Amino acid sequence: MKRQAPRSATALYATAATCAVIGALLWLRSRTGAGPTYSGLYLSSQDADNYSPSAWRVWSSVVPEERLGIYLLVVALVLALGARLVAVWRE
């Protein structure tokens, strides 16, 4: 019978998955150059035309979103590796 992974490993895996998803979304967003377009939130088409991507900045101008996305992907890989090591170490 297989033992369950320790809670710390599960928490690390969950954090790694969250970082990976956010990092991938930021990286893809920087590659496509498109910000979020929620047409249902605009009251008129003129509001949609006045949308500026800079209003959706998620980080400082010193670190571009593409680089932040890559950093988060690397952090996700490190956390997943750490979770695997914790799981193996506790077995």
What residue ranges do the domains of the chain occupy? 13-35+51-90
The predicted model gives 1-19 an average pLDDT of 82
Residue 30 pLDDT? 82
More confident residue, 30 or 70: 70
Average pLDDT of the segment spanning 20-45 = 71
pLDDT value at 32 more than 70 = yes
Share of the chain above pLDDT 90, in %: 31
Contact 35, 53 (CB under 8 A): yes
Average pLDDT over residues 5-19: 88
CA–CA separation, 75 vs 16, rounded Å? 7
Q: Is 43 exposed, middle or buried (0-12, 13-18, 19+ CB in 10 A)?
A: exposed
